[in-house]
Structure 1
Amino acid sequence: MKTMKSRRPAGAGGGGGIRKRGPTRTDRDGDMEMDQSGARGGKRGRGGSGRPTAGRANPGGRTQTRDNRNLDAIQRAISDNKAPQANVRSGRQTNSNGNKLDQFGITGWRNSKVSTNKDGGIENLTAFLERRMNVHVKSGPRAKISKSRVEGDTLVVSVRSELADIMTRINGNTFAGTKISVEPYDPSSSAALDRELGTTSGPSASTADTKTKMTAILAKRYYPETKLLDLSKLGTDPDLQAMGIFNSTSTESKFFPALMKVWEMGFTDSTQRREAVQSVSLANNQLANITVVTTLAQTVPGLKNLDLSNNNFKDAHSIIGWRWKFRDLEFLDLTGSPFSADENFKNTMMKWYPKLQTLNNVQVRTPEEVAAQKKTPIPVQPPHFQDDSQIGENFIRAFFPGYDNDRTQLLNSVYDEHSKFTIDINTSAPKSADAETPSWDPYIKRSRNLQKISHLPARMSREYVGKEKIGEVWSSFPATRHPDMLVHPEEYLIECHPLPGLPDLGGLSEFGVGGLIVMTHGKFEESVGGKVETRSFDRTFVIGPGGGLGGIRVLNDTLCLRAYGGHEAWSPENQAIPQAVAPIPAAIAPPAVVAPPAVVAPMPSAPVPGQPGIPVGYGTPAPGKTDAQVQQEQMVAQLSAKSNMTLQYSEMALSSNGWNLEAAWSNFEQLKAQGALPPDAFLSAP
């Protein structure tokens, strides 16, 4: 293996390999100077004359003029083709050699494994960024972080301008177990705009005036009768030009997010805001990408019609920020954009938007085709709930009300010193299109997501054993409210299976004792700071015999939290009866009992055990019984209940009519009218 030689001059010190950083110094802005080459003489020929600059150089060496107010300010704000983010002109500095520096903001590192270090992991993160940049540096001086500082949860770093493209490639990389975001940093945009809109230190006269003007502009562009928000031709809007807000770089690139904030302020809740708009037009804005308008997806996620015509989108990457967004989108117009000529344009848009029916004013799907997409490759079957003595049912009925109202009492009832509890957060799970993901702060320090936590000590420390430890964790969680199972059983999916071989605390059985595994999926509301949020959850219990309430104990309790995703995913598909067969009316069909309806949605049309002529277990899943057999048994039971025929004759009627229930019923009525059916064909005298 060849030795890596230092790129520095012989007199610069160091012999290659890993070098300790010299003592850092700060410039007059308080930034940490990481690159000291200018102070040591450095390389004069490679980065310019090497002469010190008088004061801080003007960004880019250009003077920003504001005289020409007739320029299309908004067009400049949202159609810059040279950068992924429009007009990020501030945030450019120079180092002590006069070389241009670009600033980037790094977020997400607070959740890394090294965030508990004395310096918060900054030194590790800085070294990581330099290593990743140098992977792409083919020649010239090594990539270095010139300056860095921490602003809240953001590490702001400065690099030479020629490294800016390389720096953007690090976005999404994994650092110390967590993904980090690397984006161009505008030091004035967020804070200045928050002050402009009165969201930090309270409203001022200018803030109120800005809000009033933006509100008036939105009112002119909103058509409540059609639920249309017309944001087309923003650059030529005389009211926006008169405001002059885009003459300042501190607010120019944040105009659209500010407009969306003002829009949100006009509604009392998110539901009212979502229902107010079904159509949005962003036509004729000369957008090269959606960077500055991307917040539209958060403001109106349930959009059905979107007009993006006559913009400058060159390819799919120009609008990739809206991939998988707008899940209810039915109409999309991108005419006049170069992307429309791409050979993959249609297929890409249909893949991104599963409900899309009209693309560029041409129908690409029918409503029937959209509806057919709901069929899954693997049919969703009703849940299986095997609980002969109703132990699992009684436990689950009592658990969630107890967890919502008195967690301490619940712990003392069914948990003991051997019980285990873990929680993990799944931040990447699909969520409902109109859901707003609440903060994970109350849970993140307790999360035991094994895909993100690989160190054994960290994994072990986040498994809580004994009701005292579990109680400490539960007390740190927000108050919750789960739906009432009796009122909203459809909002739960619950399965229960026997589980043999559980540890026997009494030591009476060397082979263990039998218990149950209960898997629950649903949602709950939580209250944090007076704000009510909704989450989805998956919770799995292992319960067995013990000294708790009802003679049971909880051996293991695993809770997984997700953003709210609805409950449509587990709605059973009505595939027990072929589509061509009309189901027997519910009024005369036998009631279905697979499990108590308060616990799980019952399997449609399943026979009742003990019903005359119906043996126990007939028409219900069982080991060794195929799905086709279960479906046929259910159809036989339905026909038997309606016709009063025995199972044998009901099966003969169905099989002779190709298992078409409607045809079998018609055939039965015909034979019965003709008196062609023998008396033994019926369960009782007809």
Structure 2
Amino acid sequence: MAPPTGPRAGTNASAARGKSTGIRRPGGGIQKQRGPVGGRTDRDGDVSMDAPGGAGATRGRKSGRSSKISERTTKNLLTYATSGPSKSRFANSVALKVTGLDLSSGDSKHISSVLAFLERKASKNLDRQLSINKSAVDGNSLFIQVGKDDVPSFLHLDGFTYGPATLGISESHEPWPQRKSRKGGLSESGAAIKERLQEVLFKRYDVNTRVLNLSALGQDEVLQSMGLFDAKDTAEKAFKALVHICNQQFETDKAKAEAIQGVSLASNALSTVTPVFDLALRFPRLKMLDLSNNNISNLRQLTKWRHYFQQLEVLVLTGNPIEKEEPNYKTELLDWFPKLQIINGQQFRSAQEIEAREAASRPRPIPQAGADFRDSDGVGENFIRTFFPLFDSDRPSLLSTFYDEQSRFTLSLISNGITTSTSVPSWQPYLKFSRNMAKITTDAGRSQRLFEGGAMIADLWKQLPATRHPDLTDFTKYIIDCHPIPGLPDPTRQSSAGVGGLVLTIHGQFDEMEPTTQNVGMRSFSRTLVLGPGPPGRNPIRVVSDMLALRAFNPLPGAPDPATLPAAAPGPVPTAPVVDVEEQKKQMAMALTNRTKMTLEYSAMCLDGTGWDFNMALQAFEEKKAQLPPDAFLPA
């Protein structure tokens, strides 16, 4: 249903229509676009927004103070709409976000007490007193500025308790909250500029198509008269201000998504999407995007939007050099945007095809045939879905993601199980590592077979045969139990009583290839994994304990014995899992993103620069993270 247009100018809009799903206009409703906005190509390129240059830049302006708003006032408005804390004053500072507090009362004494608590705890065991340079409150979130060198000490407080609240502390890449005043943070002249920019938006919004026309912004008479496109730096900030002000018109994300379904950025002389990147942050659910008649010549210039606009259905790139220079770009874009159907007016797939593909990719429920499967927010299920594929194909990545220097691993051979006619591979690769308590009775022997820390576990896993576990959705191959467990070691060392976690017990089977003979056989296994919260700055889930028990193959209760099944048609002998290199790289990038909060693009770049060595990539990130731009990180 299209949003209401509201009453005409001069009436009280809010009284007439209540909550509108369209752009709110002071004293009026939503105006349709009255005509096309002209434009021409600008030689200066990406941030000029097609602004005229030279003497033509002053054409049409009135003389006198009423036509050209002061440079200082314009700068203040752009700062209000787009910038964070002062870069000069806080060049060596980092913004942190503190959550978990109830700050609704706005009590300054309470906030001062929290700041003092943070400074005191962060300075503990140090030879100097740490201080917070600046603070601001936005809702129940507290933003603080601290020195770069002090960041680890404050991040260490993540998970600490302050009264009844459990604090969450992380680096913030959000704009610094603006201090509110009686005039909303704007002077009288600043408020007048904001109102003029609102009028520009109202005239460019088409209520029927729900499209916001931001094409040829440099040719807009109002924007020209304000002098916002006379220089490249102000042109980019002016666009951010327009997007910010448009975003402010909506009370909810749902209302915004319903009202603004498409945006045109045509004829803005864009050679990259960097100057208009904020559109992806403020309006991530766009269905139509028009980039026609710009200077986009290759996919690299669009890369920043690769993991955004996941609802995009229609994309227009006609009139760009990319059509000749990269003729196969459409195939890549269909991969970037999962719901994209139409490019330059040509339909490549239907909504039904997209839905069918998504349905096929949705994970089916894992078996819950055990006596007790009590997961917590899907943590156990998601862990298992990641664990076994990585154990089969990329054990180093599995270790670096979920195991740390305190993780423990043991292996036991149970030789008294009932066997079937299925061939049994040799036990030789496991014998010297087995910690079967019934057979290894000395403390020294048991201690030697307890592997602690990622390095020791990695050395052991390298010596174990290749495995291939069945699909988790095969209910005949697994029994999985999961339930909470209290009293695990607190990685922050704050709670002497410990923290809660999960214990997973998996009974199942896998195929194994014997290294020397290349023979393939089946084994039964039981694996008990204890999961707990990870330490600050690391993966949120860690393996506390991993106990693997192996037996000769024996079908699970109720599952058919392979020896009794009809003979299958001859086929190739199973081998070790074939690793899809691209899929492996994708999983490593996702794991690095999970650890660092970088975007998938930057995670892939970091891994590529270190030869896809996960540990070296983590080290490189720690060394370079202070130099990374804000858009290298996921939105908070």
TM-score in terms of structure 1 length? 0.33
| Larger-gyration structure (1/2) | 1
**Larger RCO (CA under 8 A, 6+ residues apart):** 2
TM-score in terms of structure 2 length? 0.36
